[in-house]
Amino acid sequence: MRKKGLIFLIAMCALLSQTVHAECDYKTQNEISTAAANVVGTYEMERVKEDYEGNPHPEVSDEIANTLNSGYYFAEHFNVKIYNITDQIYFRITNEEEHIDEEYHARDLVNGSFSLRVPDTQKIRTYTIKIFSDVSGCSNEELREIKVLTPMYNELADQALCENKDAYYCEKYVTTNIEVDEEKIQNEYVNSNNNYFKGAEELASKNRIYWYIGGTVLIVIMMIAIIVQIKRNKKRKI
């Protein structure tokens, strides 16, 4: 009796082993790896019409939102986006600074897509996305890791010294902390303006004789026109 029970137990273990192996065969493993490789992690900017308290107002027209002192304005936000999550994989997204540690499966999402609003644009933020297998019987080890860095607003971008200037420190949003000597940049800005006005003065000085000639010719033409008109008027009176 014991011998039959032992044989039955061995047979069940063998059957279970074959079942697990069948669920996670080479083809399945390849499909899981491909699914993990197709996951896209990125960030996207979103322009939203809001009031000054940060409440969204999609019903407000663009014209009103662009009007000064209307009570509304266009706010720019970043959203962390994750695409192509399938039934074979799931992901965990973390950010220590924001105390985020969340897990999502395909059943939690719409069309395999995920979106997370970034709180603000005042600092550079890093979100870590780890992909795992969601197939029963296959290894639950990490398959892939994605880092998403969201930019921060660059205060230098709106200053006069960055007007019409294509420089790395003038980009509106940056993903690295910009360390620049603001006093040096200000001096360069002032010097460039001084050079512009100096050049304009030199150009005017060089062409002064042409201005004189042009002005003299214009005056002579006007005097001739006046004399001709006077003579015509006299003839009409006669």
Using CA atoms, how far apart are residues 138 and 20, in angstroms rounded to an integer? Answer: 8
19-59 pLDDT, tens digit per residue, is 444 568 999 999 999 999 999 999 999 998 998 888 888 89
Beta-sheet pairing, 72-83 with 40-51: antiparallel
Residue 116 CB: number of other CB atoms within 10 A? 19
**Which parts of the chain register pLDDT below 70?**
1-23, 180-212, 229, 232-238
Residue 103 in domain: yes
Q: Is 189 in contact with 160 (CB distance < 8 Å)?
A: yes
Domain that holds residue 48: 39-153
Please tell me whether residues 164 and 84 are part of one structural domain: no
| Single residue among 108, 128, 153 that ends a domain in this structure | 153
Whether 60 and 73 share a structural domain: yes
Q: Are residues 45 and 149 in the same domain?
A: yes
pTM of the model: 0.66
Using one digit for the tens of pLDDT, what is the confidence trace for 85-112?
A: 999 999 999 999 999 999 999 999 999 9
Q: Is there a domain that residue 24 lies in?
A: no
Domain count, the chain: 3
Asked if 47 and 108 sit in the same domain, the reply is: yes
